[in-house]
Chains A and B, each alone.
Chain A
Amino acid sequence: MSALHDETTVVAAERVSAIEGRLTRIGRSMATAMIPVIGAFVIGGLLLAVLGRNPFSFYGNVIHHGLIGSLGRQETLIRMAPLLLIAAGLMIAFPAGIWNLGTDGQYVMGGVIVADLGPELAPHFSGFVLFTTLFVVGFAVAAIWSLIPAILKAWYGINEIISTLMLTFIGLRFSAFLVKEYFYDRETTVPQTRVLAVADRLPRMFSSRVHIGLVVGFVAVIAVHFMMRNTAFGLRLRIVGMNPKAAIHAGMNMKALTLAIFTLSAGFAGLAAAVNIAGVDGVVRAEWNPAVGLLVVPLVFLARFHAASVIAFIAAFAVFQVGGESASRKADIPNFMVLFMVGLLLVFMALGEYMQLRSSRKH
């Protein structure tokens, strides 16, 4: 009897220690996420100082123009929408071990079709129907575009890092070709699609310029987070990512899963483009190269695919991007700081991983 009692207390104590372990792990992973950020700011500040600029006033301007000022804050929220959607797609691909680095091409392909279709459909449909159609089309076009690397990977084992990157270049050229040859607006001098009338754009919120695309972005990130952790499909994807041989052994259909991973992940990039075109841009020019996708990659990794952290990092990134533009102009330096900081962030992340690996070897 007392032995039994002992055993249950031991089990209870073990559970408590497991929970404690989990909490310290969360704390530690937050810390490991913040250290690269701080490191990037410090080195970035040093560089500014070397250039003879005051880093404190630079960072102050960044915060002021990206977050505190109302116009800047609106711009930040607007920029966040497509970034969140692209991140949602990467939160599917990366844990599943698929390096989809072609979101830029997928974004452009989805975007160019949506841009052509929007003004076409706007006179006939309105509001909800129009936007859902555009969203579905953006998603579908990008998904179909991604079937190329997906099939190359699933049937021929061709590495997707190279194929997706290559397809971004092809996608950019191809969309430019489409605009110049078929989609161009005859009434303008520059080759661009017809413009989606401001009245037909996505509804705005809080009597600001911020459109409902932001909500779509939040919902997508949270839904993907939930899907990856709580559904059978999400678990299958994670198993494929962690140990593909075990997935095969367990009888999972690798070809179907690979296609699903590519198309979903690309689809969100296409949706991001649809949201941005229906929400802000309203038009696509022939020489359009938004190049937003690759910037999201390190953020998603830094956030370890966790919705709350993804949202936080993307918000911080958008603040920095928007505020950085103004701050650079004020400090009279080229607008390279954002990219430079992302680069530093990557270096510090890699360093952090290395340190963690070493310390885990010690314990």
Chain B
Amino acid sequence: MAIVQLQGVVKEYPLGKLVVSALRGIDMTIERGEFTVIAGPSGSGKTTLLNLIGCVDVATRGTVLVDGQDTGRLSDADLTRLRLHKLGFIFQSFNLINVLDVHQNVEFPLLLSGTLTPGERDKRVRSLIDRVGLTEQLIQRPAELSGGQRQRVAIARALVTNPAIVLADEPTANLDSGTGASIIELMKELNRTEGTTFIFSTHDHAVMSHARRIVKIRDGAVESE
């Protein structure tokens, strides 16, 4: 069964008296375990699309099914649970919690879900921080980190709950090619071993080359697969 399914999804932003159509009727299906890249020029609607799949925004029209559930019909509490347990989101602007240090930011979703013991939790947090190469920065605050380091914290936080779907909005944009490649490697490994579904947006051709499937969008509509 498809893990993500979009039907006639339209997203409009009111802008004063005008209405900006960011997405103009998207139909799309993503299967479990897929490694998909959404490509398109700036302003084409990549972020908007990921926000809808990631349940942090709502569509103006059309249906968005995530893990078989119609997100338009879920209560706020159910949507929040879906975000916590099924989804991991790496935002384009990272959105870390400024008052928490690296370790605490990564640990945050685990504390919210409350599924692990403190020992397990600490082990998992440290292993992920290790994977993104931030062991040295464990107790630093986001303000004390570079853009690339912040991005890596965001990646670790998205992966820490071992979600079924990971959404990443240009995850390598601020990384040097070496780090970028190792992050992609990590994701591919998770994809292989855990069957995690990955949905990326990027214009990075190096990243695209790793993808099994590339969906190109332009002006809010699917251009080609």
Q: Do A and B assemble together?
A: no
State the A residues within 8 Å of B (CB). none
State the B residues within 8 Å of A (CB). none
